[in-house]
Amino acid sequence: MRVLRYSAILTGVAVLVYGVYGLLTAPEIPRLSGVAYWLLGGVALHDAVLAPAVFALCWLAARRTTPRVRAVLAAVLLVAGAVTLVAAPILLHGRVAIR
Amino acid sequence: MKQPPLPQFHSRLHDERTTTLVGTALGVAFVTAFLTGLVSHVLQHPPSWLAHHLWTRPSWGYRLTQGLHVVSGVAAIPLLLAKLWTVYPKLFQWPPLKSVTHALERLSILVLIAGAIFELVTGLLNAAQWYVWGSQFPFIQTHYWVAWITLGALVLHIGVQAPAIARGFRSPKKELPEAYREDLAAQRQGVSRRTFIATTAVAAGTVTVATVGQSVTSVQQVSVLSPRDVGVGELGVPINRTAAQAGVAAEHVSADWRLEVVGGARPLSLSRDELAALPQTFAKLPIACVEGWSVDAHWQGVRIRDLMDMAGAPHDADLRVVSMERNGAYAVTVMEREYARDATALLALHLNGEPLTLDHGYPARVIVPNRPGVLQTKWVRRLEVIA
């Protein structure tokens, strides 16, 4: 079990390093600032905007609603939120033109 | 250092069991997306040591793997959101860094989350052909390398968290009946774990069904969110790039167009009528695009291997396909002999019973089984035998 665990850790590190090396040396990716901006921007958006908004809603719901209503609200929030995110490119950019 | 006021999280669902269950589903989705993505990358940019080991059967292979790639990525969106919700309190752990190992572990988590969000966001936007990142980075190579980084961070994370995952998989009902009853009583105050898991599953299922229609044409009607309507478009097949986008104008394909087959012992130059007079082959083959959409179509044309034989190409020769398109990374591509020699690999002249339209690659285009759509070259000008 221990062997398995440590080999997973070592494999993970090796694959991660391979990916970083590939990203740094890919001739098609001359500037890394754009990639870094998007990588960290996604985390920042989630951790500082989306998650606090969701937890604020959870806090409100915990104070104002009964457990039964809360379960329904949580379900609506997760399903509707996921559908909205997946639909966002279509809503904002439009469907790929039909030709 | 004094602990500053930190947010408090009271839900019982930020526990190891919920995290393990959601995390397992997310892990399966990510590994599926990674492996199918690797297949797509190899088919599009085969490394030299693999180039002659790719197979043309089943003809719908790429359709399946690329459809799965997009589906698993889309399903991972609610799974990732739920997973991050369960572990969000860990962001505020105190002290933030306990040791070098702890710092490294937190760094690897940052890498994992950044990579995961990046892959899902860029993949989703690319499927909708909305290239928001402009010239900040090239999609293909960046999506590819960040996938390796993310997978590495995922395997590392599983290794580091193995004891917690093992605990998470144990059924508290059987092993800790006392704690289980206590937990159950506490959960009555809020949302139960069962509801949370079921809701996450419903969210993943909903977005999957809502988008999968672009690859599984039979459920197209309910897939209201798929970025593509398949089955519409000229001759019942969507067009990803029009002739105008590719820089091909009607005058380039006028009546004096001729197909050149060069590099063999008997170079050929054939008009479209002469091609149409050669023995015709019919094949039902899908067009499957890297963006995940795919559709079956009926093609008619001349077998590529017949043209190669007529031109006196050696039996083991590969083929270079040269298109008339002006802009695009795939104007000149290599077709390995494994594809070129396939009995259904065609230089197609007709699609679904009608002559090709300009946007479908008139006067002649390539259609080969089990290959990504970008390599199904349109507006073919020349076939060069690579001896």
CA distance B80 to chain A (A): 10
Q: What torsion, rounded to 10 degrees, do the Cα atoms B47, B49, B51, B57 define?
A: -110
Q: Which of A15, A38, A75 sits opposite B155 (nearest CB)?
A: A15
Verify whether the Cβ–Cβ distance A81 to B124 is below 8 Å.
no
Q: Which of B291, B259, B230, B268 is nearest to B382 (CA)?
A: B259
Q: Which of B159, B203, B232 sits opposite A5 (nearest CB)?
A: B159
Q: Which residues of B343-369 are buried (b: 16+ CB within 10 A; e: fewer)?
A: ebbbbbbbbeeeebebbbbbbbbbbbb
Which ipTM value was assigned to this complex? 0.95
Verify whether the Cβ–Cβ distance A86 to B124 is below 8 Å.
yes
Establish if A49 belongs to a structural domain. no
Establish if A2 belongs to a structural domain. yes
Establish if A10 belongs to a structural domain. yes
* pLDDT tens by residue, chain B, 387 residues: 678 888 888 788 898 999 999 999 999 999 999 999 999 999 999 999 999 999 888 999 999 999 999 999 999 999 999 999 999 999 999 899 999 999 999 999 999 999 999 999 999 999 888 999 999 999 999 999 999 999 999 999 999 999 999 999 987 777 767 777 776 666 666 778 888 999 999 999 999 988 887 777 666 666 666 666 666 678 888 888 889 888 888 877 777 899 999 999 999 999 999 999 999 999 999 999 888 888 899 999 999 999 999 999 999 999 999 999 987 789 999 999 999 999 999 999 999 999 999 999 999 999 999 999 999 999 999 999 997
Establish if A39 belongs to a structural domain. no
Count of domains for chain A: 1
Domain holding A20, by residue range, is 1-30
Nearest CA in chain A to B198: A75
Q: Which residues of B touch A98 (CB under 8 A)?
A: 229, 232-233, 238
Interface A:B, Cβ pairs < 8 A: 200
Verify whether the Cβ–Cβ distance A71 to B191 is below 8 Å.
yes
Q: How many CB atoms lie within 10 A of CB B182?
A: 13
Verify whether the Cβ–Cβ distance B159 to A98 is below 8 Å.
no
